[in-house]
Homo-oligomer: A and B are copies of this chain.
Amino acid sequence: METGLLDAFSQEYKKLLENELKSLVEKLNAPSIIKESMIYSLEAGGKRIRPLLLFATMDAFGLDPRKGLLAAAAIEMIHTYSLIHDDLPSMDNDDLRRGKPTNHKVFGDAIAILAGDALLTYSFEVMGNIPNENAAPETKLKLTVEMAKAAGTEGMVGGQVADMEGEKKALSLEELEYIHIHKTGKLLRFSVLAGAILAGAKHCQIEDLSAFAHHLGLAFQIQDDILDVVGNEHLIGKPVGSDTTNQKSTYPQLLSLDGARDALQMQINLSKEYLEKTGLNTKLLMEITDLVASRDH
């Protein structure tokens, strides 16, 4: 697989994004402890898959991805807030994330809750403050409303609720998909949509890109479940088999490992079909899709 194009693109925009996230928080006139807590989790790294999807989508339309920097920062803030709150003792009770102590282990539960609240709130301010030359007020308003939908009860929060309700219960494939489509899928999908909205995409392109992102999100989650069975602990950053230990319903458990691999391939194929339908220059998005299918962490 040729990934040179994506590698260079990813490195450049990851750095731009990370600098932007830090400076957006640093400039806030607020108690230093809350800014430290926000920056701690924003800097915890990760693949930055959501911003990358946004940048690559803008590139597919021939637009300068830099024009999407604030939108990408807003989305990454929402993703980061969701990790901080999910890790809390009353939620998943995780002490480590990517090998680093979780936010509440460093700053305490109260500041962790408030840092999550602050990132979620700030994301809407950041999205609304995109310069007018990069997005008209109508466009920014659409981005704001769609981001709220993707992150709220009809999206990510709804998925997290269903996930918690479904813990230690045998889920059907339909219930498992509801969780994934909402908990991770809706914000991944919004990352692609935001790029398309910023590019002034036509309705049919929005539909195809939306379908692409939907299937990519499912592929991402199936691969996550597969890695929990066959992955390298050191690379994935958590013990292999932890889903089984935690009695979590997974694709390999519902479909067998081979069945899960078939399902992954099907989602990857569907993702690519919808990408091709757009008629855009989707080289980078294709590479991201291949990366999702073959990633080892």
Contacts and interface: CB of A to CB of B under 8 A. Distances in A.
Contact of A144 (B124, B157, B162): B124
A213 to B, nearest CB: 19
A140 interface: yes
Most B CB contacts (10 A, CB to CB) among A88, A90, A121, A122 go to A121
A193 to B, nearest CB: 15
A33 interface: yes
A117 B165 contact: no
A151 B114 contact: no
Given A90-B108, A120-B117, A164-B110, A30 B144 contact: no
Question: What is the oligomeric copy number?
Answer: 2
A148 B125 contact: yes
A197 to B, nearest CB: 13
A85 B147 CA distance: 22
A46 interface: no
A154 interface: yes
A30 to B, nearest CB: 4
Interface of A is mostly: helix
A34 B117 contact: no
Interface in A238-295: none
A128 B109 contact: no
Nearest to A150: B121
A232 interface: no
Contact of A121 (B28, B129, B152): B152
Contacts of A90: 108-110, 113
11 contacts: A30-B161, A31-B161, A33-B165, A34-B153, A38-B153, A85-B113, A88-B113, A90-B113, A114-B157, A117-B120, A141-B144
Nearest to A160: B114
Contacts of A140: 141
Interface in A44-103: 81, 85, 88, 90-91
A11 interface: no
Given A153-B34, A154-B30, A124 B122 contact: no
Given A29-B154, A30-B154, A122-B148, A161 B128 contact: no
B149 A125 contact: yes
B117 A157 contact: yes
A114 B161 contact: yes
A113 B91 contact: yes
Contact of A138 (B114, B137, B151): B137
